[in-house]
Structure 1
C-alpha cells in the first residue's frame, strides 16, 4: 500500500487539513526556518552568540527532518507523535534561548510554533484514533 493510501485510510479528525494545504504551509515556513536557523548557526560559528544557543535549533532540524520518514516510511504513529512533540518543545526552547540575543528570530518562529502546535494536536489525535 502506498503511503498516501495508508494515510488516507487512517481515522483522522474532521478538521484535518488536506495534504496540499499542509504542503503550502510548509512552503511558507521553510524559508523562515532557513533564514532564521541559518542566521543563528552563522552567528554561533562567528562566536557572536554562545554555542549552546544553537542546540535547540539543531535538535529541531533533526526532529523536523525525521518526521516524514518516521510517519510515512516506518508508518509508526507513536514514534511520529514523540518526534513532533520534540519539534514543538525545541521551538519553544529555541525561542527562549535566542530571545536575549536576537528577539526578531524568536518572534519569527511564531508562525512555525502555531503550525506545529496544530500539527502536534493532529498527530496525537491520529495516533490515539488509530492505536
Structure 2
C-alpha cells in the first residue's frame, strides 16, 4: 500500500486539508524557517548570541525533518504525534530564547506556530481516531 493509500484510509476529521494544501502551506513556511533559523545559526557561529539560543532551533529542525519519515515511512501515528508535539514546543522555546536578542525572528515564527498548532490538533485527532 502506498503512503497515499494508507493516509487516505485513515479516519480523519472532516476539516482535514488536502495533501496539496498542506504542501502549499509548507512551501510558504520553509522560506521563513530558512531565513530566520539561518540568521540565528549565523549569529551563534559568529558568537554574537549565545549557543544556547540555537538549541531549540536545532531540535526543531531535527523533529520537523523526522516527522514525514515517522508518519509516512514508519506509519507510526503515536510517534508522529509525539514528534509534532516536540516541533510545537520547540517553536515556543525558540521564540522565547531569541526574544531578548532579535525580536523580529520571534515574530516571524508566528505563522509557523499557527500552522503547527493546527497540524498538531489534526495529528492528535488522527492518532486518536485510528488508535
Equivalents in 1 of 2:15, 2:95: separation in Å?
28
- CA offsets 1:37-92 (integer angstroms, 9 cap, x no match): 00000000000000000000000000000000000000000000000000000000
1-side partners of 2:103 and 2:18: how far apart? 33
SS in structure 2 of the partner of residue 15 of structure 1: coil
Structure 1's consecutive aligned runs of 4 or more residues displaced over 2 angstroms after TM superposition are none
CA distance in 1, matches of 2:85, 2:34: 21
Structure 1 residues 24-103: aligned runs within 5 Å: 24-103=24-103
Deviation readout 1:69-120 (Å, 9 max, x if unpaired): 0000000000000000000000000000000000000000000000000000
User: Structure 2 length as normaliser, TM-score?
Assistant: 1.00
The SS at the match of 2:57 is helix
Aligned partners of 1:55, 1:17: CA distance in 2, in Å? Answer: 31
Matching residue of 2:16: 16
Alignment partners' CA distance in 1, 2:125 and 2:23? 20
TM-score, length-normalised on structure 1?
1.00
Q: Which runs of 5+ in 2 are unaligned?
A: none
Paired residues, what number?
131
Q: CA RMSD in A?
A: 0.2
Q: Aligned with 1:16: secondary structure?
A: coil
